[in-house]
Structure 1
């Protein structure tokens, strides 16, 4: 018989789903706007390609560091810091005066984004019973699809209707 989520687990699942969808939106919203950013700053394809690289390096390294830290500290705090920091970096990116600023801001977005997934997994491990834990992670993994669709849809629409900024 399939185990059901408790009330507390349902609340956690909804919060984690919303949080990680927001994380995906603030991570993948750049891709649809890259052509506009390239044109706005007069960049080559190689130069604009530095943006995803500037994000990926601290993101990958930060995942490892965060993994160690969430074992000693409350994972909710890391998630909150990561989400708020990433939101601030997205706002700052839209107001960046030049490409060098964009690179630095997107690098910092990678740092903040690295503080989200590992704490999320730790929260699921800590607050979900063994019988429903794997299902909870599966349900949260759906945010990858939801977040991508939202990010590409919103970013593409906003870029076409107004500007990448």
Structure 2
């Protein structure tokens, strides 16, 4: 229906804007290091601060997202993020940048879990997973835009202009969100919703039917481990690709940042490739995850073999790796929470799982920078290969437990 498409488009724009307001720092980090003379680990700490507050905030927002109106949570998150971005343009020390970027992480944590609840509440059941797959395109689309845009803005004005433009864009999107969603609400009578809005008392009643049993806690913990690995590979690789290219192939930061815009092409393919594996297979999220980890392991191994031989080959294998991580994110963060619709816990489970992604992201963003300063990029590639191997092993452990859960609750 037309209103479903408009609703999804509005959600897509809103979530796309949050990636603009976080990937802009990643895209311009190598230029900030070069222009300001900061160490890799110093700038990596700014990104780590974001991921820590984002990850912790995901747990809190996931809990609140099942109890408060998602419209206002998403608006607040986008608007506060726009203010954080605008502030970055006026800061001159890495300590101040870290503090403001931590606020940005907390603000952005208010968007994903409420967004997933909107899909569960407003869209027909058969359209929910399709929406989850399609919303994942916001990440590659944002990266595809932000890297060449940052490259251009840095070239004409410097890195501070990146945050001014991003902050202004997010402020405009926050206004579009609140106005657009308020109008759309009138088109959705309560009876049409597949997951109708509940009062606090009703949630309390539903909570009696939901238990974090030992088996469920173990399963979610294993999924969390896989997402930690996925976050380390996705954001760790993406964040340091420009610096890797600049150091390994002796190209300028302008060229390295612009070249990294190649990654989203295959990233976008990875989202739909993961969905294809899922639908053509046994419709088991963990089996799909294992296949994607195996592909990423092979890709990182190829990076080691062909290290220093070709900038384009390096970009290709980095793109394959990050694409697999995008597919894994869809399986574990978007698909798995949908099984908890009946309990009214979509946002809660999504928040718990998504928070673990950023444990890996925060460790990798700082840790890879520190390793680059001390051990060099060759060691980092071998380390990433071991991380991907841990993902394969973890998936194999998870598959039988998830299969049992699907039989009982699918």
TM-score, normalised to structure 1's length? 0.92
Correspondence for 1:30: 25
Correspondence for 1:101: 96
Structure 1 position 153, deviation (Å) = 1.9
Correspondence for 2:83: 88
**1:35-114 matched pairs, under 5 angstroms:** 35-114=30-109
Correspondence for 2:140: 145
The answer (yes or no) to whether the contact 2:46–2:94 under 8 Å persists in 1 is no
Q: In structure 2, what is the Cα distance between the partners aligned to 1:42 and 1:148? A: 25
Could you report, residue by residue, the CA deviation over 1:92-141 in whole angstroms, capped at 9, with x for unpaired residues? 11111322211111111111111111111011111101011111111111
Q: In structure 2, what is the Cα distance between the partners aligned to 1:150 and 1:23? A: 13
The answer (yes or no) to whether the contact 1:24–1:144 under 8 Å persists in 2 is yes
Correspondence for 1:18: 13
TM-score, normalised to structure 2's length? 0.38
Correspondence for 2:119: 124
Q: In structure 1, what is the Cα distance between the partners aligned to 2:39 and 2:92? A: 18
Q: Which has the higher helix share?
A: 2
The answer (yes or no) to whether the contact 1:41–1:99 under 8 Å persists in 2 is no
- Greater alpha carbon shift after TM alignment, 90-99 vs 78-87: 90-99
Structure 1 position 38, deviation (Å) = 2.1
Structure 1 position 49, deviation (Å) = 1.1
Correspondence for 2:304: none
Which SS does the other structure have where 1:95 is aligned? Answer: coil
Structure 1 position 43, deviation (Å) = 1.4
- Greater alpha carbon shift after TM alignment, 31-40 vs 110-119: 31-40
The answer (yes or no) to whether the contact 1:24–1:151 under 8 Å persists in 2 is no
- Greater alpha carbon shift after TM alignment, 68-77 vs 33-42: 33-42
The answer (yes or no) to whether the contact 1:26–1:151 under 8 Å persists in 2 is no
Q: In structure 1, what is the Cα distance between the partners aligned to 2:77 and 2:116? A: 14
Q: Which runs of 4+ in 1 moved over 3 A?
A: none
- Greater alpha carbon shift after TM alignment, 19-28 vs 29-38: 29-38
Number of positions where the alignment pairs a residue of Structure 1 with one of Structure 2: 160
- Greater alpha carbon shift after TM alignment, 46-55 vs 150-159: 150-159
Which SS does the other structure have where 1:54 is aligned? Answer: helix
* Root-mean-square deviation over aligned CA pairs: 1.2
Q: In structure 2, what is the Cα distance between the partners aligned to 1:37 and 1:26? A: 16
The answer (yes or no) to whether the contact 1:79–1:120 under 8 Å persists in 2 is yes
Correspondence for 2:130: 135
